[in-house]
Amino acid sequence: MEHTHLGRSGLSVSRLCLGTMNFGPETSEEDSHAIMDRAHELEINFFDTANVYGWKKGQGVTEQIVGRWFAKGGGRREKTVIATKLYGSMSDWPNDTFLSALNIRRACDASLKRLQTDHIDLYQMHHVDRATPFDEIWEAMEILRQQGKIIYVGSSNFAGWHVAKAQETARRRNFMGLVSEQSIYNLATRQVETDLLPAALDYGIGVIPWSPLHGGLLGGVLKKEQEGSRRKTGRALERLEEVRPQVEQYEAFCEELVEEPAHVALAWLLHQPAVTSPIIGPRTLEQLDGAQRALEIELDEKALMRLDEIWPGHDPAPEDYAW
């Protein structure tokens, strides 16, 4: 497994990040623990979770599963760069949602308890809170860092201008600010190329793409449809009829490459500037093992051009929409 720095930080993380969103709702705790053990065997040291994962409000089901895995010992916690998030509602009571200083403090302490650890390596804002000023957010994060409860701060679902505003506010406070941004980014969804990626590159922020297969759309959905081996849900269901001709071309091109579509989609992301680690969310050990193939695929200029023809991207703003 190749490792790289997370943005401009000195933190070394694996080029694939283990997403845990399926742990609990889709994958049993026993199987989740086996997947995390296997990830370490593959030298994947970067795990991503969130306080709302598990989708039982206020329970933090997925964080608890990860915490019980850490509690098994054997260097599990020490070998893991754990990233979690806050923003989503943990109850219907006021101040248990969003990014107020009060919720940042409470949410962090709750995540630490569920994860059974004394610190979070990367604490991420799960969304933009337009009602809370960044001075308030950064003061709360600075205190957590001084207390040793968090080490790095990241964002998720920010636009380029949100990143710029956050970083300039942090600069005035002599604080490091963001080291990462977690965005939806894949061959079929490339809007972040207009302003988010240029901002991330300029500020030295590592991009962690989520939904790298767009909910299965880029994972051989037509072949699986023919075989009857996959039920289309979520993003794949929403987009398939709209982009079916592109998916047909894409799967045909992957056949020419003699590679699985899912592996090509991950490999493409690994070739993109600013991308640190795409998040893979395996439900099974087989899916985790299969994703490793993406690390071995070298896409030459001709292949990258063909993928751009099938899935057109964006130029940086303003050239994307102006002369």
Q: Which residue has the tokens 């991503």?
A: 48
Report DSSP state, residue 32: H
Distance, CA of 74 to CA of 160 (rounded, Å): 40
Backbone angles phi, psi at 80, to 5 degrees: -110, 130
Q: How distant, in Å, are the alpha carbons of 38, 51, 266 from that of 284?
A: 11, 22, 17
By DSSP bridging, strand 150-156 and strand 12-14 are: unpaired
CB 122 within 8 A of CB 5: no
CA distances from 260 to 123, 251, 264, 293 (A): 34, 8, 6, 9
53 flagged as catalytic: yes
Give dist(CA 270, CA 276) in Å, integer. 8
Q: Which of these is catalytic: 53, 152, 185, 250?
A: 53
Supply the residues annotated as catalytic: 53
